[in-house]
Amino acid sequence: MVVELISVGTELLLGNIVNTNTQFLAEKCALLGLTMYHQVTVGDNHDRLAEVIRTALKRSDVIILTGGLGPTEDDLTKEVCAEVMGFPLVEDKHTRERIEEYFRNNIYKVISDNNWKQAIVPAGCIVLDNDNGTAPGLILEKYGKSAILLPGPPNELYPLFMNQVYPYLQKLQPEVIRSQMVKVCGIGESQVEDKLLDLIDKQQNPTIATYAKTGEVHIRVTAKAATEEEAKKLVKPVVKEIKNRFGDCVYSTKEEETLEQAVVKLLKKYELTVTTAESCTGGLLAGRIINVPGASEVYNEGFITYSNKAKRKYLDVSKSTLKKYGAVSEQTAREMATGGVFATDSDACVAVTGLAGPDGGSEEKPVGLVYIATYMKDKVNVQKYQFKGNRAKIREQAVVKGLDLLRRSILDNYR
């Protein structure tokens, strides 16, 4: 079954907002085993939108349109789609009542007349209640084709899609799709693919696909079968083989689990506390850890020691080390990690110091040079990295490597 995504909104064409909806929907459609050949963005223009819808209906079985369902005059998606597919528009009493209820429970008590536009729907369509806004989702079915219309705001689209559209699309699929992710850190995408090439070439069902992330590679194993149980049986041995090949590089086999969640889970498992000591990352590492619910059980303190004076004052990095080796050095990283543990009485500390650029580099210490250290059980592990990219990219890569080094240090010391 072929699905096509149509994003509606002039603001998308102008780059005023980032279109995260397309990424979300494309990923979920892939999980369902749907085939996708086209993604289109079109402005708030009647004729161009009509042309895009007609083209999409000719070449795809399902089209998913996002945006343009609101109360203003430039919200045209519903009207144009109904016109192209030959549906008259009628008022939906149920939706009108929901809009009234929404405003009764909102700080804005007055309902402007244009809001009633959202209660007008194509006759005979499936109306999807929107619990987070006033514009309902809609499904129009005709001649074996389906047009799914969803509101643009992600906080409305995501739950509406997962709760109502995802089950609808599942029913359209003749086969059951089972997918599992294997998340790998500490090895590049080309190396991952090289290690998996024989499996990728051999496997037709399940299939194996790799996705490069910053400092990570995600491997998706997807199987099709007549039943859920059969699909699981196809996926299981392939996932097991991938885990065997990558060993400790695998940090999770769960779709939603992030690297920082995996780290916090390990800290909790072994009842450990951690401190962060950061220079070039400026608190980004601490932020990733603290973003995990329940991190307060394991996270003690964080130091942002950007200057040499701060490194000396808070982490007890010696003046002679800084003078002889510099702030960006193996020796300084080692003393930062050690100082972080003793300053907070934590079980572990991860420290980062480096040159994020774009200036300040030299032939001996180029931009992108980063040292990351962990201190745990009287052992210090220091790693040297040479990252590429702009300032933001270098800092982001350093955070990922810091989390992964902490994870590996826990595994090395507590298994």
Give the fold, CATH level 3, of 259-414: Maf protein (3.90.950)
What CATH architecture does domain 176-252 belong to? 2-Layer Sandwich (3.30)
Amino acid at 13: L
Per-residue model confidence as pLDDT tens digits over 272-311: 999 999 999 999 999 999 999 999 999 999 999 999 999 9
Q: What is the pLDDT of residue 107?
A: 64
- Start-end of CATH 3.30.70.2860 domains in the chain: 176-252
Average pLDDT taken over every residue of the chain: 95
Per-residue model confidence as pLDDT tens digits over 29-80: 987 888 899 999 999 999 999 999 999 999 999 999 999 999 998 999 999 9
Cβ density class 230-263: b for 16+ within 10 Å, e for less? ebeebbeebbeebeeebeebbbbbeeeebbbbbb
CB atoms under 10 Å from CB of 403, counted, come to 25
Q: What is the pLDDT of residue 108?
A: 63
- Start-end of CATH 3.40.980.10 domains in the chain: 2-172
Cα–Cα dist 367/328, whole Å? 11
Segment 16-37 mean pLDDT: 91
CA angle, 334 then 338 then 343, to 5°: 145
Residue 407 has pLDDT above 90, yes or no: yes
Q: Identify the CATH class of 2-172.
A: alpha beta
Across 247-334, the runs of DSSP E, i.e. the strands, are 250-252, 274-278, 299-304
What sections of 20-110 are H helices per DSSP?
20-31, 46-59, 77-85, 93-104
Q: Of 105-114, 136-145, 157-166, where does mean pLDDT reach its minimum?
A: 105-114
Q: What is the pLDDT of residue 13?
A: 94
CA angle, 379 then 369 then 389, to 5°: 130
Residue 315 has pLDDT above 70, yes or no: yes
Cα–Cα dist 22/43, whole Å? 15
- Start-end of CATH 3.90.950.20 domains in the chain: 259-414
Return the residue matching tokens 């950061």. 278
Q: Of 6-15, 168-177, 298-307, 358-367, where does mean pLDDT reach its minimum?
A: 168-177
Cα–Cα dist 44/250, whole Å? 45
Token digits of residue 140? 């129009």
Does the model's pTM come out above 0.85? no
Q: What is the pLDDT of residue 226?
A: 85
Residue 174 has pLDDT above 90, yes or no: no
